[in-house]
Structure formats: structure tokens, C-alpha cells
Amino acid sequence: MNAVVLAELNIRHTRLHMPTRRVAIDPSYLPTLVGSAGPDLIGAVSTEFISRIAKEKYKEIEGLLTAISTESLEIPSIHLQHRLQSDTHGLDRSRHRLLDDGVGIIVEIDVHARPETQVLGMLIAIAQIPAINRDPFMACFRTAMKRRGAQARGMRVRLLERGVAGDRPGMARPAEAVAGSGGDPGAWDTQERMIQEGWIGVDVESRWAMEVLGLGPGAKIDRREIQRRYRRLLRSAHPDHGGDLEGAAERIARLGEARAVLLSTT
């Protein structure tokens, strides 16, 4: 059975090395019916990132929650040293998804951006949900602030540490590499659309595995290439070869799972 996407949140933001910090959201899929997957996704993603934020910043986050509750959150505005905005032009993307693979629930969390960026993106998304449907999302977010990193039981978590391969429009937009350098933004938009169309027909599990191994849509998949990429990324992830000790076991396990998924299809 192919995995089914139950909910998806797309957060747009500046890249890590950029001096300015901006955040917005792209169209997302956050079901609002009682018991639906939208609040669950917000809960899981906020649990992951709130635990990475210093407690002294919680007061400002609480203020944003109050502003959302009273319909007084303004966009554009500055919070947590980020500019909240609606314009997504030139911004990088983080994609978070809740999946059902027929065995259980999987949450994919893109962790390549700052935690403050991700939290602010979620708050913008919550603010855009109609007030009549907003309470479950607010409740899940507030619960995450109390959990401090403890995910709900029965949920498998996949962390995408390098983002989503082929799905980060802010990575190489030549016209924006140097201010005033010129270029055709429309050409980039066409390229981005072609990348997304390239994933059409690829099931969710295979796409996840390809992204983990750094393969974009349309890449040739054969056993030799899968093994080559796996070994290279495994060396990079292993602490003995310079990889970070923290989270190494999870990264290595994720690479092994991705390899197994792709080998089962070749």
C-alpha cells in the first residue's frame, strides 16, 4: 500500500546563512474537522521545534498565541528577530507531512531551518485558519510547549535534516544571488513547477527514500547507485568520519530505511 498524505505544511523562509530572517507560508493541507490530521501535524512539528528554543523566548511566543486568539496578529511584523510576511518570493522551503503507510502514522519533519523560523511559520498557518476551526490547533501547540520534545505515542518520526531534495526554491535562484544582477524570475518559477511535476506518479514512500538519499525526481534508480549513495552518506553521518555524535544513530537508521525502501522497488 502506498502511503497517504494526511496533512502537509509548507513554511517559506530565508536560508541559514542569510543575515536577514523572513518567514511566510505556502499553500498547505491542514484538515480542520474534529479528529482530523491537521492539528496532529501541528502538534508533532511544534513539539520537535519548541524543545529547541530557549525558554526565555516562550513569553514572546505566548504573546503571539494571544494575538492569534484576539485576531490581532499583524503581517508584516517582527517577532523573534524574524519578519513575518506574506511574500514568498526567493525564500527557501521546509515541508512537514503526516502520512499513513497502512502500518501506522509517520510524521516527516524538515529540520534544516532555524527552530524559531519553523515555530513562527506554524503560528502564521494557525492564524490563517478560520477562528471557528482554530481551537484544536491552538491546543496542540500549547500542549507541545509543555511536552518539551516528547512526541505522542504510536507516531513514527522521520527527520529530514537536509530538507527536501529538489523542493527548495530558495537554494539557487541566480537572479537573487547578487542584488541587482538581473535575471528572469519567471524562468525559475517554471523550473520549480517542472521539478514538482516530476514527482507526479512517485509514491510517497519512494519519494521520501529518494529525498533522504539526495535523489531528485526523474533520477535513475538502480541498485548500484542506491548502494553507492548509501555508503557515501553513511560515512558522512558516522561520528568516526566527522559526523555529529548527537542524533547519529537516528540519521544512520534513516539512511538504512531509505535504502531498504528503494532496494525493494528495483
Which residues of the chain, if any, have pLDDT below 50?
Answer: 166, 168-192
**pLDDT, tens digit, 9 for 90 and up, residues 48-98:** 999 889 888 999 999 999 999 999 888 888 899 898 998 888 888 999 999
- pTM value? 0.65
Domain ranges of the chain: 1-164, 171-266
How high is the pLDDT of residue 122? 95
Q: What is the pLDDT of residue 221?
A: 79
Nearest by Cα to 98 from 2, 209, 211, 6: 6
Which pLDDT score is estimated for 249? 76
Second CATH level (architecture) for the domain 171-266: Orthogonal Bundle (1.10)
**DSSP sequence for 90-150:** T-EEEEEEEEE-SSSEEEEEE-SS-HHHHHHHHHHHHHHS-HHHHHHHHHHHHHHHHHSS-
